[in-house]
């Protein structure tokens, strides 16, 4: 019992006789579920699909906005002609009122 600390080891002399020679202290549980890398990869894949749909939708909306703008541009001559016709009829009625007809 008066041994130096460096050479002291816990062994069979200090262990009760019913204890095993080695004590298992590690916990060996089976792996449950997917690993972190698989979860991360699946998340990236799902997000990639979502961003693909977002990009497709943005392109469609951009095309619809462009189409709407060109439709309005193509209506400008018709609207200008209607305005001109209203203006001419207003000028004619003004001259008719002025001349006393």
- Predicted TM-score (pTM) of this structure: 0.50
Q: pLDDT at position 11, please?
A: 55
Q: pLDDT at position 9, please?
A: 56
* Each residue's pLDDT tens digit, 74-86: 999 999 999 999 9
42 near 33, Cβ under 8 Å? no
Q: What share of the chain is helix, strand, coil (3-state, %, to 5)?
A: 65, 0, 35
d(Cα 62, Cα 50) in Å, to the nearest integer?
18
> Which has the higher per-residue pLDDT, 3 or 29?
29
3-state secondary structure of 4: coil
């Amino acid at each position: 019992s008066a041994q130096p600390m460096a050479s002291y080891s816990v062994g069979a002399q200090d262990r009760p006789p019913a204890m095993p020679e080695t004590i298992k202290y590690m916990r060996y549980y089976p792996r449950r579920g997917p690993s972190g890398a698989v979860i991360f990869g699946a998340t990236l894949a799902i997000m990639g699909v979502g961003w693909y749909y977002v990009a497709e939708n943005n392109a469609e909306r951009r095309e619809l906005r462009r189409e709407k703008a060109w439709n309005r541009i193509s209506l400008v001559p018709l609207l200008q002609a209607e305005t001109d016709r209203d203006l001419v009829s207003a000028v004619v009625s003004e001259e008719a009122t002025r001349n006393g007809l």
